[in-house]
Structure 1
C-alpha cells in the first residue's frame, strides 16, 4: 500500500514552485508587480515630455548590457527600474505625439494588461484541448474585426505576429489552391510600392525572384490594372502560370491604395487569387469616410490587417483573414503534416471544436487576440472609429498648413493619415537648388528636426525624389503637434539653406 504523502509546509503553499526555485513569495511578486505598473503609468503620463527618439552607441550598450551569465539571484524590482530607465527607452517611442516616422503605434493600457494575463495563464489558442477559452476569445475577436471592416459573413482566419506572417500565410494558401504543389512557371504580381514582406513571402514559398513581377506604379503610386492585365496576358501567352495578385491598401511611403475594385474584376476574369495587404490601411473601413472601402475589401480572397498599427494595439498583433477559411486549413492542418500521428492525436478537434493551429504555420501560439478583445470591451468600437477619424483630420490639417506655407510643397495628398512634402528655399534665395541638392536638403532637414529632440520626421522617395513624410495616426497627437513639426522643418530648412549659401560665397572668394 502506498502511503499518503506528508502535507507540505505552509510556506510551500504560497507558490507553485519550491521557494528559491524559479519562484518568489507573494509579497515579492506583489511588490515587483506594483512597481511594474507604476513604471508603465509613469511612462504613459510623461510621454509627451520625453524625446520621441533616443539612441545609444553600440559601445555604450555593450558596456551596459554585455555581462557574464548571472549565476546568483538578483533584485527583480531593481532590475525593472534598470530596464525602464536605461534600456527600454532607447529606440523610437512610437506612441509619442510628435513621432511621425514609419507607421506609429500607440498600444493602450488594457492591451498591456492583456499581454500580462495571457503570459501568466500560459494561454495557447492552438488546439481546443490545450486552450478552449483562449481559442473562443480569438474567434470572437476575429468576428469583431470582420464586422469592424464590413467583411461578409463567412470570412475567417487567425491572429499572427504581424503583416509579414499574414502575407506569407495568405500567399501560401493561394499557392496551394492554384498551383497544387507545382511552382513551374508560376507568377505572382504586385506593385514596386508593395511592402518588402511580399518579396520575402515569395522567397519562402519557393518562388524565384523572377517569378515575382513587381510592376511600376501609375502617377498616383498605385498598381495599374491595365499594365497588370497586359503583363498577365503576355505571361499566359508565353506558357507561364499566373496565380495571384497582391494589392496594397496603404503603401508605407505615401498611403496609396491600389484600385481594389478593378483588380478584383481582373482577377475574377483571369482566375487569380487577390490578396489585399491592408496592414495599415484596412482600418479606414471603420469610418464613414472609409465606408466605400468595405465592399472592395470584401471582393478580395484574403486580407492582411495589423491591429498593432491603426487599431492601436501593442506589438505583436497581426491578422490574416480569408474569404474561405477552409483554404487555410487545406494548407496548414496538422493531419496533413503529421510524421508521428500518435503524439498529437489526443489534441485533434472533435465536433464543432476548432483547432486554430490547423489554420496557420504556428502550433504554439500566444493569445495575441486578447489585446484587441480587452481594449474593445473596455473602450467600445465607437472610440476606435473616432480615433481613426482623428488621424485623418490631423493629416488634413497638416496638408492645409503645408499648402499655405511658401517654403513647403505638398508632394502627395493625404491618404490614410500619410502625406509627403518637401522643404524648398524661399524665393529670395540666389538660385533654386539642383534636384539632387534639393533631395539632400530634405535629408538635412530630417536629421536636424530629429536632433532637436522635440519631434521625429523621416524621409522617403516618391517618383525618384527625396521627400519628407508624415504619418499622423496617433490619437494623442494634437494640431499643435503638427504645427510644431512643420515649424521645425522650416527652421531647419532655412538654416541649411543659409549655411549652403555661406559656403558658396566663401568658395567664391579669392584665395579661399
Structure 2
C-alpha cells in the first residue's frame, strides 16, 4: 500500500509540475480507446503500480488539460495540491457529511467552509446551504426550494424567467422540476447580453393578465459566452414588487466579489433569495466542488428534509438531527455525500484567502491585457465587452469580406487550426447569432506572454486561411 501510494503521489506531483508541457488538448478516437480500454472483465488482479502508470500516462491525459496556461476554453480550472490530498484523506475515511450521527467531523468542516465562503462573497451570516457537485445541481436545488415555497406544489400556470444567455442547466432544472418547456420563459437579452429588467416586467405583467403564475427569476452573474452580468439590483427590485424568488447563477462570476474591483457585487449578491457558486471555477478547486446558498436555509429543509420523504421511517430514525445538530441530507437531494468542502477548507487553510484574492485579480488583469491587444490590432476586433475575465473577439478576413457566413466560417476554422497546433486552446461561441472566438483568462499560471503568443498564433492562422 505504501509503495503504491508513494508512487501515486509522485505521479500527482509530476502532473502538477508539468502542467505547461505538451498540448492543452488531446483527443483519441472511440476506436483507439476501445483498443486501449475495451478489455474483458478481469477475473484475476494485476499490479497496482503498473495500473497507476497506465492511467497517468495513457488514459487520463486524453482530454482538455484545463490547468495548461494556454487553455482558454470554457471556464478552466487549475485544482491545487492540498485539494488533491483532501480528496485522498476524505475518501480513505469514508467521510459522509450527511447525517450528524454519520459524520459530525465532516459536517463541521462543511459548516465552517460555508461560513468562510459567505465571508468571501459578502453574504450575511444567516444564509445557509451546502456543497453539491456543481452549478447544475446547485441550480436544481435552489429552484426546487423556490418551486415549493412559491407554488405550494401546484405547477399549473407556473412561469420561470431567465434570459436566452442563461446556462442550459436552468432549462434542465425546470424540466426535472416538472415544468413544461413553455413554462420557462427565456427572454432576449439587451445589447450587452444581459437580462433586461424592463422586458422582464412587461412579460410578467402580460402573464399575470393572462391568469398565469410567475414564481421565480434566474439572473446570471457571468454568462458562459461573454461573462455578462445581469443587472441584479434592478431585477431584485422587480422581484420584490411581484413577489418573485430571485435566484442568481453565479457559478463563475460570484467569485468576482473577492476582488477589489468587484467589491460592489457583494451588496448585489445579498439581494437574492438563492445563489449558485462553483469553487471549481474561480476558486481553483478540482471538479465536483459546487455550492448552493440561500437566504433562508429552512426553505431548503422544507423541500428536502428526510422526514418529509420517509417511507420506512424506522431505518433512518436514529440519524435524525437533535439538539441543534445539522443534517446536510435534510438540505439537499443527496443522502450519501462526499466531503467536497474539505478541498476548499484545506486550500484556504494552506494558502490563505489573500492568495485567492490575488489570483482572481490576476485573471482580470490578463483579460485587460488581452482586450487591449485585440483592440489595438487591425486584424482583430472585440465582439463583446470583456467581463469577469471572459472576452470574445473575431478575426477580420484578410480579403475584406463582410459576408456573415464567410466570417463565421473563418472563426471556426481558426479555432480548429489553433487547436490542431497543440500550442493553445481557443474555442468558439455565439454572440448575437454570430460565431466568435472566446477566451477565459483565469489561470493563475498564465502570463501576459502566453496571451501574446496565443493571439499571435490566432493571427498567423487566420492569415493562412
**TM-score between both structures, scaled by the size of structure 2:** 0.99
Please list every run of at least 4 consecutive aligned residues from structure 1 whose deviation after the TM superposition is greater than 2 angstroms.
none
1:488 corresponding residue in structure 2: 457
Q: SS at the partner of 2:279?
A: coil
1:434 corresponding residue in structure 2: 403
Cα distance, 1:153 vs structure 2: 1.8
Cα distance, 1:425 vs structure 2: 2.8
2:249 corresponding residue in structure 1: 277
Pair 1:124-2:96 in alignment = yes
Equivalents in 2 of 1:379, 1:46: separation in Å?
Answer: 21
Q: Deviations over 1:372-419 (max 9, x none)?
A: 000000000000000000000000000000011110001112100000
Equivalents in 2 of 1:369, 1:46: separation in Å?
Answer: 27
Pair 1:390-2:362 in alignment = yes
Cα distance, 1:45 vs structure 2: 1.2
Cα distance, 1:49 vs structure 2: 1.6
Equivalents in 1 of 2:145, 2:19: separation in Å?
Answer: 42
1:508 corresponding residue in structure 2: none
1:502 corresponding residue in structure 2: none
Equivalents in 1 of 2:2, 2:364: separation in Å?
Answer: 42
Cα distance, 1:215 vs structure 2: 0.2
Task: Provide structure 2 residue ranges, at least 5 long, that are not aligned to the other structure.
Answer: none
Pair 1:268-2:240 in alignment = yes
Computing the radius of gyration over CA atoms, which structure comes out larger, 1 or 2?
A: 1
1:222 corresponding residue in structure 2: 194
Q: SS at the partner of 2:411?
A: helix
2:215 corresponding residue in structure 1: 243
Equivalents in 2 of 1:201, 1:467: separation in Å?
Answer: 28
Q: SS at the partner of 1:459?
A: strand
Q: CA RMSD in A?
A: 0.6
Equivalents in 1 of 2:338, 2:389: separation in Å?
Answer: 30
| Higher relative contact order, chain-length normalized (CA < 8 Å, sep 6+) | 2
Pair 1:323-2:292 in alignment = no
Cα distance, 1:433 vs structure 2: 4.1
2:393 corresponding residue in structure 1: 421
Contact 2:364/2:389 (<8 A) preserved: yes
Pair 1:463-2:435 in alignment = no
**TM-score between both structures, scaled by the size of structure 1:** 0.90
Equivalents in 1 of 2:401, 2:223: separation in Å?
Answer: 31
1:86 corresponding residue in structure 2: 58
Greater mean deviation of Cα atoms: 339-348 or 38-47: 38-47
Equivalents in 2 of 1:115, 1:417: separation in Å?
Answer: 28
1:135 corresponding residue in structure 2: 107
Task: Provide structure 1 residue ranges, at least 5 long, that are not aligned to the other structure.
Answer: 1-28, 497-512
Contact 2:166/2:220 (<8 A) preserved: yes
2:144 to 172, 188, 191: 172
Q: SS at the partner of 1:199?
A: helix
Equivalents in 1 of 2:180, 2:165: separation in Å?
Answer: 19
Equivalents in 1 of 2:404, 2:307: separation in Å?
Answer: 59
Q: Deviations over 1:227-269 (max 9, x none)?
A: 0000000000100000000000000000000000000000000
Equivalents in 2 of 1:408, 1:188: separation in Å?
Answer: 39
1:212 to 178, 181, 184: 184
Aligned length: 465
Equivalents in 2 of 1:235, 1:145: separation in Å?
Answer: 37
Cα distance, 1:43 vs structure 2: 1.1
1:314 corresponding residue in structure 2: 286
2:323 to 324, 337, 351: 351
Equivalents in 2 of 1:47, 1:215: separation in Å?
Answer: 41
2:226 corresponding residue in structure 1: 254
1:445 corresponding residue in structure 2: 414
Equivalents in 2 of 1:263, 1:493: separation in Å?
Answer: 41
1:195 corresponding residue in structure 2: 167
Q: SS at the partner of 1:49?
A: coil
Equivalents in 2 of 1:410, 1:433: separation in Å?
Answer: 16
Equivalents in 2 of 1:290, 1:408: separation in Å?
Answer: 28
